[in-house]
Amino acid sequence: MKLLPLAFFIILLNTVSIAQPPAKNVIVITIDGIRWQEIFRGADASLLRNNTYVKDTGLMAQQYWHDDINERRRRLLPFFWSVIQQQGQLLGNRDFDNDVNVANLYKISYPGYSEMFTGYADKLFIPNLAVNNPRSNVLQWLNDQPAFAGKVAAFCSWRVFPFILDEKHGSLQVNAGYETLDHNDSSNVLINNVQQSMQDKHTTRHDLLTFECAKNYLQQNHPRVLYLGLGETDEFAHHGEYDNYLQKLRQADAMIAELWYYVQTDPFYKNNTSFIITTDHGRGAKSNSWSSHGFWVKGSGQTWFALLGPGIDATGEVKEPQQAYQKQVAATVASLLGVQFTAKHRIGKPLVIKTDKTGEEAGFIHKVITAKN
Q: Give the model confidence (pLDDT) of 338-357 as tens digits.
A: 999 999 999 999 998 765 54
What is the model's pLDDT at position 372?
31
Which pLDDT belongs to residue 170? 87
Q: Is 150 left (phi over 0), alpha (psi -120 to 50) or beta?
A: left
- Partner residues linked to 161 by β-bridges: none
- The pLDDT value given to residue 4: 45
Percentage of residues of the chain with pLDDT beyond 90? 81
As a whole number, mean pLDDT of residues 4-23 equals 47
Confidence (pLDDT) at 161: 98
Confidence of residue 201 (pLDDT cuts 50, 70, 90): confident
Task: Tell me which of 96 and 1 has the higher pLDDT.
Answer: 96
Query: 27-80 pLDDT, tens per residue?
Result: 999 999 999 999 999 999 999 999 999 999 999 999 999 999 999 999 999 999
| Burial group, residue 208, by CB count within 10 angstroms (0-12, 13-18, 19+) | middle
Q: How far apart are CA 134 and CA 282, in angstroms?
A: 24
Q: How far apart are CA 99 and CA 323, in angstroms?
A: 5
Q: What is the mean pLDDT of the chain?
A: 90
In the chain, beta strands by DSSP E: 25-31, 89-91, 98-101, 152-156, 173-176, 225-230, 273-278, 305-308, 316-317, 322-325, 339-340, 367-368
| Residues 34, 159, 155: CA angle, nearest 5 degrees | 75
How remote is the C-alpha of 353 from its chain's centroid? 15
Tens digit of each residue's pLDDT (9 = 90 or more) over 174-190: 999 999 988 777 788 88
Q: What is the mean pLDDT of residues 101-117?
A: 98
| CA separation, residue 203 to residues 112, 176, 193, 257 (Å) | 17, 9, 18, 26
Confidence of residue 199 (pLDDT cuts 50, 70, 90): confident
Q: Is residue 211 predicted with pLDDT exceeding 80?
A: yes
Residue type for position 235? E
What's the CA gap between 372 and 146, in Å, rounded?
A: 11
pLDDT at 373 over 50: no
Q: Please determine, for residue 13, whether its predicted confidence score (pLDDT) is greater than 70.
A: no
Q: Is the dihedral of CA 164, 167, 173, 178 positive or negative?
A: positive
Which of 9-13, 16-20, 317-321 is predicted least confidently?
9-13
Among the ranges given (110-124, 197-211, 325-339), the one the predictor scored with the smallest mean pLDDT? 197-211
Residue 311: which residues within 8 A CB-CB, separation 6 or more?
21, 22, 23, 274, 335, 336, 353, 354, 364
Instruction: Pick the range with the lowest mean pLDDT from 170-174, 309-313, 361-365.
Output: 361-365
Q: Which residue has the higher pLDDT, 301 or 357?
A: 301
Please tell me the predicted confidence (pLDDT) of residue 1.
41
Q: What are phi and psi of 204, to 5 degrees?
A: -120, 120
Confidence of residue 368 (pLDDT cuts 50, 70, 90): very low
Other CB atoms closer than 10 Å to residue 118's CB: what's the count? 30
Is 7 a residue whose pLDDT tops 90?
A: no
Give the bridge partners for 361, in sequence order.
355
